[in-house]
Structure 1
Amino acid sequence: DRAPARPAAGARAAPRQASDRARTPARPSGQRRGRLPAPRLTGLGVGVFSSLLMAAFGGLSGLLPGGAPGFYGSVFVLVCAAAALWVRPAELFAAPVAVPLAYTVGQLCAGGPGDGVTGMLQNLFTSLALHAVWLYAGTLLAVLLVLVRKTVLMVRRRRQRRLTSG
């Protein structure tokens, strides 16, 4: 009784049988059943992702009557949560740094009445001062989610070390 021979290096594995495909449903890479996609964004990716979203929603809130600061702030909190959950584990602390910058980018796009660069900066600083509660709430949410994720990662690593060493 001999074990089956292994394929030579560089050889392709045998194609899966139809019965194998029927048992394992096809899912996108890194996605588990009933959960969010696995974290894949880099630190730079989190910054770009959140900045683009906040710029789009900032422009949209600028079109709404009164600037709709509640709408913009609520979207910001959701973007903070998404950024903190989808950043790669190696770059967790990039999310709480990137989201306040994204909030500012969105406020620039929200605009408002003003002439030239000085009017734009005046509107930016005024809106940052008046709606700071949203900025703090979103950033605090991102920090808390990142800390929870970091703690879970540290506990998992500690358990794996115990299992492999003992």
Structure 2
Amino acid sequence: MEQHRTRPPKDGPRRGTPPPAQLPPQARRGPAPAERGARQGRVARPAPPGPRLPGPRLTGLGSGLFSTVGMLLLGCLDQLLFGASMTVYGVLFLPVCVLTALWVRGGDLLTAPVILPIAFALGLFPVADGNGGLLARLMGVFTGLATQAGWLYGGTLVAGVIVLVRRVRWVRRRRRRT
């Protein structure tokens, strides 16, 4: 029995259509983005004027490195400029929390509230009070964690709220697409 094909093979063009090189430029590229939006019932919005803040999308590892290195540098800066003020260190922790929560990409959102307490603890090493060696420095870090728990919890809570809001928006966008 002989089988007849009703369609051409998937790797070749259909009969009667010219090769892409012979098509006019508009037919090759498809409709412009504004036309596509109009066809789908959407109106194209112009970009907001003015400069925009950078919006990098960090992976989970990248956001962990960003927050840890940022807190270490801020701890050293606090040691140099303010004489290891724990209050200044806690205040500087809040923008790092906000930036980490805003810059982590959608798939890794839930890592931000987990890595921020680790970054806070590692950044305490330059600020911790301890002049008698490693054990004294570790004791200073643990004391700093105990006395500055309000800043730690507050920053982690702010990051958690930002991450949850972003996660809900991300899930809603994905559901609308399907």
Q: TM-score range by the shorter chain?
A: 0.7 to 0.9
Q: Describe the superposition over 1:97-123 as per-residue Cα deviations: whole angstroms up to 9, x where unpaired.
A: 111111011101223233111101110
Q: Does 1:100 align with 2:120?
A: no
2:147 maps to 130
Secondary structure (helix, strand or coil) at the match of 1:108 reads: coil
| 1:12-161 correspondence runs (5 A) | 35-65=52-82, 67-161=84-178
Take 2:53 and 2:170, find their aligned partners in 1: how far apart are those partners? 17
Change in 2 beyond 3 A, CA 1:5/1:65: closer
% identical equivalent positions: 43
Take 1:5 and 1:129, find their aligned partners in 2: how far apart are those partners? 67
Structure 2-normalised TM-score? 0.69
The structure, 1 or 2, with the larger RCO (C-alpha pairs under 8 Å, 6+ apart) is: 1
2:24 maps to 4
Give the CA deviation at 1:157. 1.6
Kept in 2, the 8 Å contact 1:62–1:111? The answer is no
Take 1:154 and 1:35, find their aligned partners in 2: how far apart are those partners? 25
Larger Rg: 2
Give the CA deviation at 1:63. 2.8
Which residue identity is paired with 1:74?
A: V
Which residue identity is paired with 1:88?
A: R
- Please list every run of 5 or more consecutive structure 1 residues that lacks an aligned counterpart in the other structure: 14-31, 162-166
Take 2:105 and 2:137, find their aligned partners in 1: how far apart are those partners? 35
Give the CA deviation at 1:38. 3.4
Q: What is the aligned-residue RMSD (CA, Å)?
A: 2.6
Structure 1-normalised TM-score? 0.74
Select between 67-76 and 32-41 the one with higher mean Cα deviation: 32-41
Which residue identity is paired with 1:140?
A: L
Take 2:130 and 2:81, find their aligned partners in 1: how far apart are those partners? 14
Change in 2 beyond 3 A, CA 1:68/1:115: same
Select between 111-120 and 134-143 the one with higher mean Cα deviation: 111-120
Give the CA deviation at 1:81. 0.4
